[in-house]
Structure formats: structure tokens, C-alpha cells
Amino acid sequence: MEKSALQQARKAYLPKLPEALKGYVKVKEGAPTNSVDNQEEIKKLFPNTYGMPIVEFEPSDVEAGQAMNVGVILSGGQAPGGHNVITGLFDTIKKMNPDNKLYGFILGPGGLVDHKYMEITADFIDDYRNTGGFDMIGSGRTKLEKVEQFEKGIEIVRELGIKALVIIGGDDSNTNACVLAEYYAAKNYGVQVIGCPKTIDGDLKNSQIETSFGFDTATKTYSELIGNIERDCNSARKYWHFIKLMGRSASHIALECALQCQPNICLVSEEIKAKNMTLNQIVENICEVISYRAKQGNNFGVILVPEGLIEFIPSIGKLIEELNDLLAAHGNDYKGLDPVAQREYIMAHLSEENKQTFATLPDNVARQLSLDRDPHGNVQVSLIETEKLLSDMCAAKLAQWKAEGKYTGKFSALHHFFGYEGRCAAPSNFDADYCYALGTSAAHLIANGKTGYMAIVKNTTAPTSEWKAGGVPITMMMNMERRNGEMKPVIRKALVELDGKPFKEFEMQRDHWAKETCYIYPGPIQYWGPSEVCDRPTRTLALEQE
């Protein structure tokens, strides 16, 4: 593997560990726990893994470590630091006993089911220390949900003498990890399952998990780019940049980038839903800012748009729901029609309220909603180019205002979508340390016989040596939610809280940012250099933990 100068140099970085994880470790157990909601249902569904205590690691003179093989799985979308979870896990189990083996299942959970794996060796792993990506063993989106999968899994687990599986994933993957832990416990298979909180989206956090790994690096990478665009914008002074940011449902990424870069506008899906705003209201709000700035001679600006926006606009959410139901019920009648007839068919069958919403949409979006469907017949919301939709609608609204004499500026828009640019960036010092500590914690949870736990690291705004490490029962984070028409136990997803400190901070400043030009240019992630540059946590984490 040919390497860049940065890869070479970064390979030598030794992740900093919390004091408690530096040597031998013992477990301190807290009181029994309860799930965040629906305690009775969750307890019934997880009789073997419910109610376990939170555990914290403390330094010890004796090693609980033992001979054990471990399997590791990367699940779902990439997040910077995944490789360091694996290196932390590897180094720790090897320290416990050099004969311990770590197996990586290839291309995600599917590797467990299909028995595709490799042994991770010292030589092999060294090339991946402090690197981004999930290419060490690959990732995948197969969901571990079915008994047949669990049973296929146990075959290879037994064959390799694996004591425990570590599943590195987001909320859904960790929910499934817990279901698997419960199943193996119920069957007395003697195999443990441990989860790790991964996702750049930042929506896997709660009283026990301060942040999911990857959020730090990804938002810093996006903020680098947004800052660069802001500086370009403020130099050329002639474009409005509409920047869509990955992050699925939650707006944490957009909000964090806004706090780092101070753009003129940042839409927050959760607020739009809470205020029951229409698409037209959102566009009018944006146009008010564009118009205000035009009066100051500033025909330029930067707008951040969270990926999940469109589904959070209540009227569009309702429209999409009815469209999905309508076409599920009448898909065959509809499929044979030509595009014009399809549109007429939709207009004829929609409820009055949704028909009105449909009529306000620009042609290309209406077409996308009525034509392009995924294999299950659902609208492909992620294909809607929200950043262009908004700028087109703003252009139309501003033209109307111009005709009415309400606006006299120039409006020229450019579009960007950032996602893939940050998911595999080389982890920041924070993510490199955080992930290595998570992997180390996972090893100790295994050595201490735990299953159905997620590895956690807390106190992460303090210096690394003061971080606290341990584990939390996954059932503790669960509640019951409707998924595909059925009530399921799932880890509660963390959306942006409108009374949380990050949003409050943003809300307090945004009018000023809209009117003035208050851009901040964070620049690229630095691995060496002043600590205030290299080791600062995200604004979200700093505000939430202060």
C-alpha cells in the first residue's frame, strides 16, 4: 500500500488513553438500570440483558484479561475513527494474552452470516492506525435481525473460538447488536456481543453517550470546506452558495457547522417541524435575508441545508406519506401511464390538502415525487436536490418581489453537497483518541464477561487522561417505536433539541449572522501544532458538556 506523507507520519501517532485504561483494569458497577421508556415491554423482550448496571473501569493491580478470540464488524456508513476502534481492541486483547486473536468479518454484518472473515494481524493492522475509512475489513448494510442469521453466525463464531463480537455501528446496528446479545444469552451460547457508538450524523447520543465517533472529524472537514466557500463568497461578493450537508434525519451536522462557520443562514429541520412551517414560508424567510443583504449592497451569502429537511416540512411529509400509500395501493394502474397522465392521476387521487402542497412544488420536484420511486415503491427523498429546489424557489420569489418593487438586488446561486468528502477523512486527534479508548473499553467489557453493552467514554471535554471509560447496557437507551407498521424496541434517536444549548446558542446569534458577514474560517484539521487548534472538541460537545 503506497502512502502519502501524512499517512506515513500519522502512522506513528500514539493515541492518548484515559488514565483508567493505561494499565490493568477492574470494573466498578453502578445500580441496575432501566430503559428510557416502555420499561415493561423492553424488559419482557430482553429478559437476559435488561436492567444490568452501568460499569466504569478503574485502574487495578490485577489483570482480568484472559485467553479469548474476538470478532469485529463494521456496520453501515463510514465514520472517521473506525479503524482506531479496531486498533484499540487489537492492542488490548494482545496485551491481555499474545495468543488472543482478532477476526474481522468482511464487508459488514453480511460477513458474519456468509462466513467471510480474516484474521487481523500485527503487520496488517499497522497500516491502518489513525487512518480514515472502513477499508481495513469493509463495511456493509446487511441488518442482523433474523434467527437464521444469528444461527449462521454462531457456526463461524464457534469454528473460530470467538468469545465475543464487537459491532461498530449506529443506532440501528447497536439495537441489532443487543437483539443478538439477548438471543445468544437466551440460548446459552456463551458468546458476548458489545456495541460501539459510530455515526457522523451525531444522532446516537444520550445521558451516557456524549457523542458518536466520527462526528468530530466529519463536521470539521465540512467546516473547512464551508469556511473556504465563505471566504470565496466574501471575496467575489456575487454568489449565494446553497450547501447541503449529509446527516440523514437529524440536523446536528448542519448546526455544528453553523456554530463553527457562522454562515448567513442555517436551516434546522427539527425547528421547521416544530413550527409547522411550509416550504413557502422557509423560502420567504430566506428571501427576506437575501433582500436585506441586497439593500446593504451584499448580493452574496452562504446557506446551510440539512439533508433531511424535506421530510421534516410537515406539509411535504404528509404529501409523501399519502403518495407512498396511494401508489402502494394503486401502483399497477399507475405504472402504465405516461408522465402527463401520471401527474393527472396523482392530482385526481390526492386529498385536498396534499393536492395544494403538490401544486406549489416546482415542476422538476413534482416530477421526481410522482415518477422516481425506489424498489419498494417509495418516493426517493434523498434524490431530491433540496439545495437546488430552495434556490430555484428563491429565484422565483425574488423575481416576483422585483416585479412588485420590493427587491432590487441580483441573485445568482451556486450549489454544493458535502457528505462523502468527510465520512472517511483521517480522524482528528479527538476521534483517534476517542475511538482507540472505545476499542480498549470494548476489550475490557469482554474480558469482564459483559454482553449487551455498548462501550462508552465520558468526560470527553476534559484532557484525555481524565476521560472516564466503561460500558452501558444497550437496553437502557431503548424505547418502543413504530417501524414499518410494527412496534419495535429501538435505541432512541437523538434529534436536535430546540431547548438544548447548541441550538440556543445558534438561535441567539443567527439574526446577526444573517445581516452582517460574520464568517469564521476554521481551516483544515491539524494533527500537529498548538493544542487549541489540534485538540478542540466540537462546539456541540463543548456547549452540551459545559
**Helix, strand, or coil (residue 156):** helix
Residue 307 is assigned to a ligand binding site: yes
Q: Which residues pair with 456 in a beta bridge?
A: 470
Catalytic option among 37, 127, 135, 201: 201
Nearest approach in angstroms of CB 239 to a second copy is 8
Instruction: Provide the Cα torsion 389, 393, 399, 401; round to 10°.
Output: -150
The DSSP 8-state label assigned to residue 480 in this structure reads E
Q: Select from 217-225, 353-361, 398-406, 446-454 the region that touches a second copy (CB under 8 A).
A: 217-225
**Is residue 382 close enough to count as binding a second copy by CB under 8 A?**
no
> Residues 397-436 vs a second copy: string with x where CB under 8 A?
-----------------x-x---xxxxxxx----------
201 is catalytic: yes
Question: What is the spatial distance between Cα 227 and Cα 222, in angstroms, rounded to a whole number?
Answer: 8
x/- letters, 97..116, toward a second copy (CB under 8 A): ----------x---------
Kindly list the distances between the CA atom of residue 28 and the CA atoms of 62, 88, 514, in Å, as whole numbers in the listed order: 14, 21, 50
Q: How far apart are CA 27 and CA 447, in angstroms?
A: 10
The contact mask relative to a second copy for 137-166 (x = CB under 8 A, - = no) is -xx---------------------------
* Residues 24 and 96: beta-carbon distance below 8 Å: no
**Distance of alpha carbon 224 from its chain centroid, rounded?**
19
Residue 299 binds a second copy (CB under 8 A): no
| Residue 2 beta carbon to a second copy: minimum distance, rounded to whole angstroms | 6
Which residue in 29, 145, 232, 284 binds a second copy (CB under 8 A)?
232
What is the smallest separation between the CB atom of 280 and a second copy, expressed in angstroms? 27
Single residue of 22, 237, 330, 410 touching a second copy by CB under 8 A: 237
Taking CB under 8 A as the binding criterion, the range among 17-25, 35-43, 114-122, 131-139 that sits at the site for a second copy is 131-139
Q: Is 199 annotated as a binding residue?
A: yes
Nearer to a second copy, 232 or 481 (CB): 232
Q: Is residue 128 close enough to count as binding a second copy by CB under 8 A?
A: no
Is there binding between residue 134 and a second copy (CB under 8 A)? yes
82 is in an annotated binding site: no
Quote the CA–CA distance of 427 and 440 in Å, as a whole number.
17
- Residue 426 three-state SS: coil
Q: Which stretch binds a second copy (CB under 8 A): 43-51, 180-188, 225-233, 357-365?
A: 225-233
In the stretch 53-92, what mask flags binding to a second copy with x, by CB under 8 A? ------------------------xx--------------
Q: Is 201 in the site for a second copy (CB under 8 A)?
A: no
Give the alpha-carbon dihedral of 253, 250, 165, 69, to 10 degrees: 10
What is the C-alpha separation between 233 and 247, in angstroms, rounded? Answer: 24
Q: Which is nearer to a second copy, 76 or 439 (CB)?
A: 76
- CB of 86 or CB of 209, closer to a second copy: 86
- Residue 422 among known ligand-binding residues: yes
Q: Which residues pair with 301 in a beta bridge?
A: 240
Helix and strand totals (H; E) in the chain: 22, 15
Nearer to a second copy, 161 or 524 (CB): 524
CA distance 96 to 88: 12
| Residue from the set 162, 522, 539, 542 that interacts with a second copy by CB under 8 A | 522
Q: Is 29 annotated as a binding residue?
A: no
Q: Which of 444, 468, 536, 539 binds a second copy (CB under 8 A)?
A: 536
**Comparison of 157 and 254: residue with beta carbon closer to a second copy:** 254
Q: Can you read off the three cell numbers belonging to residue 73? A: 464488524
* Nearest distance in Å: CB 144, a second copy: 19
Reference 257, options 455, 463, 420, 418; nearest CA is: 418
Q: How far apart are CA 255 and CA 371, in angstroms?
A: 32
546 is in an annotated binding site: no
Question: Which range in 6-14, 41-49, 341-349, 451-459 contacts a second copy by CB under 8 A?
Answer: 6-14
Q: Calculate the CA dihedral of residues 278, 283, 287, 290 and round it to 10 degrees.
A: 130
Q: Tell me, what amino acid is at 253?
A: I
85's enclosing H/E stretch is: helix 82-96
CA distance 223 to 127: 28
Amino acid identity of 240?
A: W
Closest CA to 331 of 377, 371, 367, 380: 377
Closest approach, Cβ 248 to a second copy, in A, equals: 16
Determine, following the binding rule CB under 8 A, whether residue 373 of this chain makes contact with a second copy: no
Q: In sequence order, which ranges of 336-428 are alpha helices (DSSP H)?
A: 339-349, 352-360, 363-371, 386-403, 420-423
Is residue 132 at the binding interface for a second copy, with CB under 8 A as the rule? Answer: yes
Type of residue found at 177: A
**Helix residue ranges, H only, 246-371:** 252-261, 269-274, 279-295, 309-312, 314-335, 339-349, 352-360, 363-371
Min separation Cβ 258 and a second copy, Å = 14
Closest CB 287 distance from a second copy, rounded Å: 23
To the question of whether residue 247 is assigned a binding role by annotation, the answer is yes
Instruction: Choose, by CB under 8 A, the member of 10, 198, 373, 539 that binds a second copy.
Output: 10
292 binds a second copy (CB under 8 A): no
The secondary structure of residue 536, as a DSSP letter, is: P
Q: Is 103 annotated as a binding residue?
A: no
H or E element, residue 486: strand 486-491
CA distances from 56 to 65, 269, 455 (A): 16, 36, 10
**Rounded least distance, CB 396 to a second copy, Å:** 18
Residues making up the binding site for substrate: 199-201, 238-239, 246-248, 307, 420-423
Judged by the rule CB under 8 A, the positions of this chain that interact with a second copy are 2-10, 77-78, 107, 131-135, 138-139, 221, 224-225, 227-229, 231-232, 234-237, 241, 260, 262, 414, 416, 420-426, 518, 520-530, 532-533, 536
Residues making up the binding site for diphosphate: 77
Catalytic residues: 201
